[in-house]
Structures are given as C-alpha cells and as structure tokens.
Structure 1
Amino acid sequence: MNETPVDVALVGGGGAASLVLAALDRHGLTGLRVAVVDPVHKRGQDRTWAFWDRPGSDLDPLLSASWSQVDVVTPAGRRVLDLTPMRYAMLRSAPVYDRAAEAERRLGATRIGGAAGALDDDGQRVIVRDTDGGELVRAAWVLDSRPRPPERPGRTNWLQHFRGWWVETDAPTFDPARAVLMDFRTPQPARGVSFGYVLPVSDRYALIEYTEFSPALLTDDGYDAALRGYVRLLGLDPAALRIREVENGVIPMTDGPFVARPSPRVVRLGTAGGATRPSTGFTFSAMHRQADEVARALAAGRPPVPRPAYPRRHLWMDAVALRALDRGRIGGVEFFDRLFDRNPAERVLRFLDGATSPGEDLAVMRSSPLLPMTGALLGDAVDRLRRRS
C-alpha cells in the first residue's frame, strides 16, 4: 500500500492515461502528486490509432504518417477527398507509451502495480482498493480509464470490430501520399456494413485492415478470409505479402449511456467516459481532448473534469443513424457514401469530432435519405418515451 495520499490517481495505464500523463507534463504540473495504478506497464506496439486533426499539435513528432488526401471507394467508383486544412493521421502506441514513461519520470509519479477494484469516494477523497478490498492508494481525484459497458444497454448495440495486417512488399506498391479511408467493395454483411482501408507508411509498407460495423463478431478464420479477399480486391496476392504484425480490436457502437462522473471525485476517461463516437467507434481524438482539458483544469486549480466528448444533439443524431442502419432502413454503404458526397470532407470530419455548428448539423442531416431517417427518428422517440415511462 502507498501510504502517501496523492492529488490524482490514474486507474488504468493505457492510451487515455498515457495522454493524460503527457498533458500534465506539457502543462508543467511537476508539483502535482500523481499515482498510476495498473498491473501492466504498457510498452511497445500493441495498437494503432487513426484520427483526424489539424497539423501543429503535440502529437506531430510521434506520428508514423499523415495524409491530406484520402480515398472513399464504393462499387460505383473512387472519390478523392481533400481534407485541407485537416489531415488524417496514424499514431502507433510505442511512442505514446514512451512519452508517457518520460512524463511519469519528470512528474515523479508513483506506479502501483496492483489491479484496481472498487473506488470508495466519500466526497473528500477516494480510496482505490485492490480486487480483494485492500487499500492501494488514497487520492483527491481518480481518473478511471478502465473499459466498462454503458450504464444500461442501448436501444441499438453494435460493434466496430476489425483485424489489420502490417504488410511489406518487395516492389513499390502503395502511394504514401494518400490513404484509403473507406473501401466499401468488400462483401457486405446481412446486418451491418463492412469496409477495408489502407494506411501506407511507405511505398512498400502499409497497414491493411478489414472493419465491420455490426452487432456480432467474426471468427478468427472469418477475419483472415475477409482480409485475404480485400487484399485481392487491391490487386495484390496475399501469399506474396510479408505480414509483419497483426492487430485486432473491438469498440462499442451504442446509444447506451456512459456515465463520465459516477461519483463526486471519480472521473471516467476514454470509452468509459464517453469518448467513443457511437456512429463510428472513433475514440482517439476525443480521448486526446479529454487529456488536455484535465491538465488545463488542474493547472488552473479547477476539478479535473473534461467537457462531454460530444454535444447531446450529436449523440441523438448517432442514435437515430444507428437505429436506421440496424433496422435496415438504410444501407451502410449508401449512408456513408451520401455523407461524403453531399458534404465537404472537413465538415464531415468536424461533425464526427463534435465540432460542427447546429446549422452545419442540419446540412449533415439533409444529406441522409429523408423517409428512412424520419422513420428511424420516430421509432427512436417512441423508444425513449417507453423507457421513461
């Protein structure tokens, strides 16, 4: 047990906590007493984050690659999107963890290797307990980034699930100046939407991934078969590729509520704190914003409570879109194709980051088929009334 109380305890040491540690260091909070509670000290390449932002952030030195142009491909053709002034970026986990380790050292943070269990919050402090009920540390604030389900199941509960191959080729194969954001030529599931994408680091090295937005996972053989099929769609021979790494992931896409502040001095971050966008599963940008807002608040002497990751109206729009997709009122390929076809790419990306104005939101809504989305909207309203009653 660590007998010394701390100002902030980070429960969970993954991506969200790593971003917070870096933000605390960046804002010069070296006098803050910090503890990190996690049985595993994250190192190395265990995941890849893809996200969009504007150049010039603290992430620039860590990026593996970035692109100002991306492709969206459907069976009808290829659309090249100019993202300027934004970019699509790829960040691997190793530099994030390395930067967090250096920040941890500079902050003089205490690392506690136990697995956290209950968080006892009396309104003045929080006791972080281990899984047997013993005390690990006492903190004025706890930032909890452990994965957890929503407070209650949503009306629609899908998953973003994927497998990716880091592949190397003998001859120049990829265009490192352009990524494939969504390629909908993949066989579509009976319920859901699938796509491939390609993130090239060089002309011979890239991440090729197969992704589904759907209610159920595939088998291992199912993901590999889907990836082989997508590689062939790209005109490549799967047997000729050298697969250097394999990545897998499962991210919730649900309109179920995530409670970001379950008690007075416990704040949840990452997916558990609402950072995952229900309509896409994208998480990293909101997680990065949360970390910076936490550090800014602490630097100003305020409670480390970030703003909601997305406006309530965006969560409502996501709930309606998920319902329309889940009930088959609109096909996934048609939905995303119209979204990019009828809006500037920058508006779509800012909408998915929760940064658009109400007027822009109306423009996004108008790009969806009116009758199917109206039916989904009415059904969502009825479900909400039933739940309240």
Structure 2
Amino acid sequence: MNSAPVDVDLALVGGGGAASLVLAALDRHGVRDLRVAVVDPVHRRGQDRTWAFWDRPSNDLDPVLSASWRQVEVVTARRRRVLDLAPLRYAMLRSGPVYDRAAAAERRLGVTRVVAAADALDDDGDRVLVRAGDAAVVRASWVLDSRPRPPRRPGRTNWLQHFRGWWLASDTPVFDADRAVLMDFRTPQPARGVSFGYVLPVSDRYALVEYTEFSPAPLTDAGYDAALIGYRDLLGLDPARLTVREVEDGVIPMTDAPFDAHPSPRVVRLGTAGGATRPSTGFTFSAMRRQADQVASALAAGRPPVPAPAYPRRHLWMDAVALRALDRGAVSGPDFFDRLFDRNPAERVLRFLDGATSPVEELAVMSSTRLPPMVAATAGDAADRLRARLVRGRRSR
C-alpha cells in the first residue's frame, strides 16, 4: 500500500540552482512557520555549474563568490576595449557554495526532502498533488517547479547558447586576476551564428577559459575541443604548462518562444522554464535570484509566491527583433555587440541586458545598432506576429 502524501505549504519540484536560491531566500527573510518540501531525485552537491553575472558589491553573495572584477575586456579583430563597470561588478559563482548555503537553510527551515522524480502535478485550484509514478508523494498549497520545460509553443527564432569551458591551472602566472574577458570575438565565426571566447580568472594561475556559440545547433565533442584549443592558442597559452582540472558544458535556449511561468492556479515555474533566461544573451542567474527574493518576500508577507515577470515585455520584444536580425544574417554578431559597448556606457549596456533600464535608456541602446537591418527585422517580426495571431484565431473557431 502506498503511504499518504506529505502535506506541506510549499513544494519545490527540482532541487538545482533556482530551488537552492529560494531556500536561501526563505531563510534570509526569516520564513519559519512554513512547511516546505523539496522533491528531486538527486541531492545536489559540489561543483556542477558556474554562473557569471553582474550586480552591485556588498550584498549577501559576497561570501560565496569565487571571484569578481570591476573591469572587463570586450575584444574584436579591430580593437581590445577595457570597460570600467563601476558601480557594478562582474562576478562568478560556482554551484558548490550555493548548494551548501541551501543545505544549511534546509536544516534551519526543517524542510522535508522527497527523493523522487515528479512525473505529474495535479492542480485542482486549491491544492497540488505531486505524483511520482502512480504514487502521490506530496500535497502542497503551492508548487514552485524549476525543472526544464519546453516553451508553450515554438518561437519564430530558436537558437541555443552552447559552450564548453576548461578550468585551466598554470604552473606560472599567465592570467590577469584583476580583469575578466567578457567577450572575445576573434574566434572563427560560424556560418550562421556568433562565437566568442571568454576568460574568468580566479587567480593569475587559475581560470575558466570557455568557448561559446549562439547558433541553432550544438557542436560535437570534437568540435568544442577544437574550438577551445584554437582559443587557448589565440590567447598565447602554452599547453605544456597547463592542466585541465575540470570541464564544463552547457546548452541554454535563446528563443522568442513564450515560456508559461504560471501554468495552473497553484503551480509557478522558476528558472529557464519560468522565463528567467534572457533570450538575447542566455544570462539567467540574476533573474533567478530576483525570482527567489520575490517569492520569499511574498511568503513572508502572507501573499501568494508568484514572482513578477523576469523581464519587461518591451525587452522581450527587443530581444526577438535582435535574434531575428542575427538569425537572418542582417547584422554581424561581433559588430552588434561591439557597437553596443562602443556607443553606450558599459553600466547601461549591462543593466539593459539585465532588464533594468528605462525606456529612454533603451532608445539610446537601440539607436547604437545599425538601424536599416534592425528596422527590417522589426517589420518582419511584426508581420510574423500578425500571421501567427491570425492562424491561432482561425484554429480557435
């Protein structure tokens, strides 16, 4: 006979980065009178991913950062630009400290952990049954679901940010620990897409060196390794003096497809499935952190744990236009990003990419791009939206 489901106020389905940030935020906001469960087949520990993001110094993340930089480089074939990010910083956070902080929060909050894969969420509008196979394992007032989920429907542009990184240790000082390389476009550019390398140094002897593409499809293992070898050689690093300590891979959606952040009355999605990934860049961490803080603030105040949309609608529209222009080859990726940083303060560009700029600032950012191809992309995007709306209207009759 199956045992009765665990009754809780809040269930976190999926125990990765988004759920870990929620647990830490609940602890930080002093939410102690809530029954919480985590449903995940794996108890996450150790270093399985790295997040890079920008924020303001002196906050709760300071003790767990691996490194941070007040200056970054953006490199093209024509120039090397050093950007001062003040009052922001560019920061790197590895998953191990995030999981450790979440585990400590779990203990203080008295969280129930259910080691199972959730197969279904049955929401009747009052409670949600979390099912693993045929068994209901948790009954919750609210569910926060951070598992990867496809968008509600395909987008007009469907790209991926895909990458491989090497954690390189050198037996001599070779990295500038005071400055990160944000984007280095000297890498060979794909026929359809954008590529760049970047360097995140922890010290002058240890750094994450990564190759990234924005394009429709991932590479093979051999393709990533060849690209990383080429970028290592471009940086002038001697392979005989280097050791690859770890390898990181990832694939992140870059699409104008809509993600359903609130699929049923008492189920809320977080992370990429909840719209936290910025379509034009693939950055996710800052939005996940905002979602976690909004959830914890709401619960502390007795409100439903439904965060605000990760990005303003006008930003998602601008992302759709930019992705369309890049996908159709109307603009060059290196030229697009080079002009953004050349014609705007770095701090404005970073806040724009994080969804935190005003309409006036966004007009300045948009005017720094090449206008004819962006106007054409805007018109094409509008036409596609109208056609899609008409098709959905005919199907609903």
TM-score when normalising by structure 2: 0.97
| CA displacement 1:36-68 (0-9 Å, x = unmatched) | 000100000001000000012211110000000
Q: What secondary structure sits across from 1:264 in the alignment?
A: coil
What is the distance in 2 between the residues matched to 1:242 and 1:82?
Answer: 31
Q: What secondary structure sits across from 1:201 in the alignment?
A: strand
Instruction: Tell me the CA shift for residue 185 of structure 1.
Output: 0.3
Match of 1:114 in 2: 116
Match of 2:16 among 14, 17, 25: 14
Instruction: Tell me the CA shift for residue 2 of structure 1.
Output: 5.6
Q: Is contact 1:51-1:284 (8 Å) kept?
A: yes
Match of 2:31 in 1: 29
Q: What secondary structure sits across from 1:287 in the alignment?
A: helix
Match of 1:5 among 7, 17, 39: 7
Q: Is contact 2:299-2:305 (8 Å) kept?
A: yes
Match of 1:380 in 2: 381
Match of 2:393 in 1: none
| CA displacement 1:218-274 (0-9 Å, x = unmatched) | 000000000000001101123431000000000000000001000000000000000
Task: Kindly tell me the number of residue pairs found equivalent between the two proteins.
Answer: 388
What is the distance in 2 between the residues matched to 1:314 and 1:179?
Answer: 26
1:334 aligns with 2:354: no
What is the distance in 2 between the residues matched to 1:105 and 1:240?
Answer: 44
Match of 1:93 in 2: 95
Q: Is contact 1:118-1:133 (8 Å) kept?
A: no
Q: Is contact 2:172-2:241 (8 Å) kept?
A: no
Q: Is contact 2:8-2:36 (8 Å) kept?
A: yes
What is the distance in 2 between the residues matched to 1:166 and 1:9?
Answer: 35
Match of 2:213 in 1: 212
Match of 1:319 in 2: 320
What is the distance in 1 between the residues matched to 2:240 and 2:40?
Answer: 40
Q: Is contact 1:38-1:116 (8 Å) kept?
A: yes
Q: Which amino acid aligns with 2:144?
A: L
What is the distance in 1 between the residues matched to 2:227 and 2:315?
Answer: 32
Q: Is contact 2:6-2:137 (8 Å) kept?
A: no
What is the distance in 1 between the residues matched to 2:217 and 2:120?
Answer: 30
Match of 1:264 in 2: 265
Match of 2:65 in 1: 63
Match of 1:282 in 2: 283
Q: Is contact 1:141-1:266 (8 Å) kept?
A: yes
Q: What secondary structure sits across from 1:360 in the alignment?
A: helix
Q: Is contact 1:68-1:82 (8 Å) kept?
A: yes
| CA displacement 1:128-173 (0-9 Å, x = unmatched) | 011x232010000000000011111100000000000000111111
What is the distance in 2 between the residues matched to 1:331 and 1:277?
Answer: 20
Matches within 5 A, 1:71-220: 71-130=73-132, 132-220=133-221
Instruction: Tell me the CA shift for residue 77 of structure 1.
Output: 1.1
What is the distance in 2 between the residues matched to 1:2 and 1:358?
Answer: 52
Instruction: Tell me the CA shift for residue 117 of structure 1.
Output: 1.0
Q: Which amino acid aligns with 1:96?
A: V
Instruction: Tell me the CA shift for residue 30 of structure 1.
Output: 1.5
What is the distance in 1 between the residues matched to 2:378 and 2:107?
Answer: 50
Q: Which amino acid aligns with 2:139?
A: R
| CA displacement 1:168-210 (0-9 Å, x = unmatched) | 1111111110000000000000000000000000000000000
Match of 2:394 in 1: none
What is the distance in 1 between the residues matched to 2:242 and 2:225?
Answer: 14
What is the distance in 1 between the residues matched to 2:388 and 2:292?
Answer: 33
Q: Which amino acid aligns with 1:6?
A: V
What is the distance in 2 between the residues matched to 1:8 and 1:349?
Answer: 34
Match of 1:350 in 2: 351
Q: What secondary structure sits across from 1:56 in the alignment?
A: coil
What is the distance in 2 between the residues matched to 1:184 and 1:218?
Answer: 18
Percent of paired sites with the same residue: 80
| CA displacement 1:321-357 (0-9 Å, x = unmatched) | 0000000000100000001111110001111111100
What is the distance in 1 between the residues matched to 2:231 and 2:386?
Answer: 43
What is the distance in 1 between the residues matched to 2:373 and 2:95?
Answer: 40
Q: Is contact 2:198-2:209 (8 Å) kept?
A: yes
Q: Which amino acid aligns with 1:94?
A: G
Instruction: Tell me the CA shift for residue 3 of structure 1.
Output: 3.6
Structure 1 unaligned regions, length at least 5 = none
Q: What secondary structure sits across from 2:119 in the alignment?
A: strand
